Amino acid sequence: MRIAYRFWAMVLCISLTSYVAFGESQGNSWHRVRYNGGTLQSKVDPKDWDNQLTVTSDLITFKLKDGQQVEIPTKTVTGLSYGQEAHRRVGTMVALGILFAPLALFGLFHKTRLHFIGIEYKTPDGKGVGLLLQGDKENYRAILTALESATGATLSVSEKDREYVPGLHNTRVVSEKEEPQAATPPSEAKAADTASVSVKSVPESADVTADGNFVGNDLKKSAALR
């Protein structure tokens, strides 16, 4: 009888070890996640929960029910946000045309206490993009914990939403007066700072100034104005 007990105990230990190892290799996965805006242009209803988010130590994978998916290496994540702050950050990207929003988008630019989660990251070409997701009351804390652990990124929350993310130590409380950073790639920002114009005057050789500064008087040449 003792031999039988020991045998089954050994089988149980092996099974549990295999289960834990399998679970760790597969990462954490959730199906009740909504998609409210981001890199994917989709007609999936933002009220639909049937999308899948998987987080491992190396990769964040978000798959929509229409088959589209985005894979985000954890090392490229530059910031996480929750609630109202997630609205502000990712909502700014959508407003600027950097990200897409699904049809019938609801509540994106309104203050809300629904459990919205923002993930900001860099594409291979250095462009700043993101995702705006919504977890439910049963999984949003687990999702945030997994994201924070895998990426090491700081979680930004508003003063009013801080109480909804207890236990997450790598957080930054953002004042409502603080403006979200515009997600404009450095290369695009640099290009937008300058422009070329051609000036012609009658009579010729008139002085040309920009912001009160003399920039030339050869009217047949283009002057670069900043």
Per-residue pLDDT at 39: 86
Closest CA to 37 of 94, 77, 79: 94
Per-residue pLDDT at 12: 43
- Stretch 26-53: mean pLDDT: 86
pLDDT at 23 over 50: no
- Domain residue spans of the chain: 27-183, 194-225
Q: What is the pLDDT of residues 84-140, one digit of tens each?
A: 888 788 778 877 777 777 754 545 555 556 899 999 999 998 888 999 999 999 999
Binning pLDDT at 50, 70 and 90, where does residue 142 land? very high
- Strand, helix or coil at 138? coil
End-to-end CA distance of the chain: 88
Cα 27 to Cα 56: distance, rounded to the nearest angstrom: 4
Is 155 in contact with 82 (CB distance < 8 Å)? yes
- Average model confidence (pLDDT) for the chain? 74
Is 55 in contact with 27 (CB distance < 8 Å)? yes
Range 27-183 classified under CATH 2.30.29.30: yes
Q: What is the pLDDT of residues 156-192, one digit of tens each?
A: 999 888 888 888 878 889 876 555 544 444 344 344 4
| DSSP class of 34 | E
In sequence order, the β-bridge partners of residue 77 are: 121
Per-residue pLDDT at 209: 64
